[in-house]
Structure 1
Amino acid sequence: MREPTSDGQTTTTEAPASGAGPRTERPTTAWRLLLRNRIAVVGLGFVVLWTIGALLVPLSPYGASQTNAGPLLSPPGADHLFGTDNFGRDILTRVLAGGQVSLWTGLLAVGISFVIGVPLGGLSGFIGGRFGNIVMRVMDVLLAFPPLVLAMAIAASLGAGMSSAMVAVGIVGIPEFARIMYSQTVSLRERDFVEAGHAIGLPRMTIFSRHVVPNALAPILVRATLGMGYAILTAASLSFIGLGAQPPLAEWGVMISDGRGYIISGEWWMTAFPGLAIATSILGFNLLGDGLRDVLDPRLRTSR
């Protein structure tokens, strides 16, 4: 950043001291630190594994919705590694195809939360006053509801479907992003480099977009990573109860719902493999988010 004042204070020296944003580390340095974090590497491994699996779906000899691809309710074996379901569909192919749906759902839902929540929280913290109070009280009201219950209500009002589930999960995540951005902005707006920008007459929105937002993004990136796991779980839950994806779409929640009636009769693989997919994908994003937090916040590294 440019040096805006005569007292020697610059954004270059102040931003790293805050420990509040990605500028505390260069991208290459942050990447190296992330790869040194074993927990983060394990999480990244799960995420990469599911991403590759989702990309390999077109190479499968079976279609995700292809019936009679094998004997009905065939257990895992050489021909069908994850077995087949009650329609003879290959479960491995459907699990990988479900990864496509879940990853896209997570990305779009987190994107909705980010695009709406970050500007709302940032402007509320930077402008303050009545505007900030009103926005934060609305966020408090949304946070008062259990997330899954709120997502169910929104999805039900929009109508069952994958798009409704994405929007519902995205709306539920807005208050979290807004709250984090608000607290970061409030802590940054009184710092010397922000005051220096005001002193030299920079427009308020220029100060906000160029100096406040970049230094407040670290916890937002961590929350976005953790939010991917939450979005996948919530979307699968909505699909399980019939408010999200609908059969015959290959989606993990739908697959568990289809297979729950066969658990007692011994066809465990219909629910076990999509359930394992949900668990490992959520674990991957959670571990990766924890590693990102350690890398992007120097205070955590110095305390360890």
Structure 2
Amino acid sequence: MPDLKSRPTTTLSLLLRNRLAVVGLVFIALWTLGALLSGLSPYGASEPGAGDLLAGPSLAHPFGTDNFGRDLLTRVLAGGRISLWTGLIAIAISLLIGVPLGAFAGFVRGRAGGLVMRLMDMLLAFPSLVLAMAIAAALGPGMVSAMVAVGIVGIPEFARIVHGQVLSLRERDFVEAGHAIGLPGSSILIRHIVPNALAPILVRATLGMGYAILTAASLSFIGLGAQPPDPEWGVLISDGRGYIISGEWWMTTFPGLAIATSILGFNLLGDGLRDVLDPRLRTSK
């Protein structure tokens, strides 16, 4: 397992040699930059009257306008800010809860560790989207509810990854040496085992960003996430679904492409990180 702290330059250089990972980085960078610059648009993201109602793509409005005359390009870029923040916060929730639970269960084992992992198995038994819908519905519609719901759904994945890593690493020589010199178990776990499990955690977090964006958009689409007039991508698709038959294709096409390309970006970056951080994959190429 590579040491991420001691070889950041090598890891970055290897990642940049992976063409698909670079494509993913470009997609992520473009949406991040667009989200940051969305406030510079001459049109307000939620203010009607920027143009004619349901006007098609043009030089003045490259993505067209919606049923309130709002500039769709501005709304899509502003929606990127909401979607990216949603993904980051949801993944942070999953990490902050799932990693300690998995590390605890893998290190102490016994009944306590088994109980934690059986709880994770119970959560994994439910389809992830259905579980997210149930949690969001219980908390009430809103973006915060969507973030919490997506974050909770992701906890078991991180817990299982860390649990497996800890079970493997706790048998290594450096752990036995730590026990031999009298280091407390908590110190060995936090300072030596968990840092060596960072690679798969980082890969899963990157891949999980795409899933978090898609799930949050799905919750917003059915009314359990962001609420109109917030320009979240799921809300934009929900607003435009009634105009597909009448020919206003841009209402759903551009928000849909935003979701697709952002998810593709994180998936390509995650695959690239996996190839770089897993020495078995790197040496086999």
TM beyond 0.5: yes
Alpha-carbon deviation of 1:20? 6.4
Out of 1, 6, 15, which is 1:34 matched to? 15
RMSD: 0.8
Distance 1:79 1:169 in 2: 37
1:118-140 per-position Cα deviation (integer Å, ceiling 9, x unaligned): 00001110111111100000000
Mapped pair 1:130 → 2:96? no
- Counting matched residue pairs gives 285
Conserved 8 A contact 2:39-2:78: no
Conserved 8 A contact 1:43-1:287: yes
Mapped pair 1:169 → 2:134? no
Aligned to 2:68: 87
Q: Where does the alignment leave 5 or more consecutive residues of structure 2 unmatched?
A: none
Aligned to 1:61: 42
Matched ranges for 1:1-304 at <5 A: 19=1, 22=4, 26-304=7-285
Distance 1:220 1:138 in 2: 20
Q: Where does the alignment leave 5 or more consecutive residues of structure 1 unmatched?
A: 1-18
Distance 1:70 1:39 in 2: 38
Alpha-carbon deviation of 1:22? 3.0
Distance 2:3 2:167 in 1: 14
Alpha-carbon deviation of 1:28? 0.7
Report sequence identity in percent: 78
TM-score (norm 2): 0.99
Distance 2:197 2:63 in 1: 44
Residue type of the alignment partner of 1:283: L
Q: Quick one: structure 1 residues 34 and 232, their matched pair in 2 at CA, closer, same or farther if it must change by over 3 Å?
A: same
Distance 2:194 2:238 in 1: 42
Distance 1:115 1:135 in 2: 15
SS of the residue corresponding to residue 197 of structure 2 reads helix
1:166-189 per-position Cα deviation (integer Å, ceiling 9, x unaligned): 000000000000000000000000
Distance 1:20 1:209 in 2: 17
TM-score (norm 1): 0.93
Alpha-carbon deviation of 1:65? 0.3
Distance 1:210 1:182 in 2: 16
Higher radius of gyration, 1 or 2: 1
Q: Quick one: structure 1 residues 207 and 221, their matched pair in 2 at CA, closer, same or farther if it must change by over 3 Å?
A: same
Residue type of the alignment partner of 1:233: L
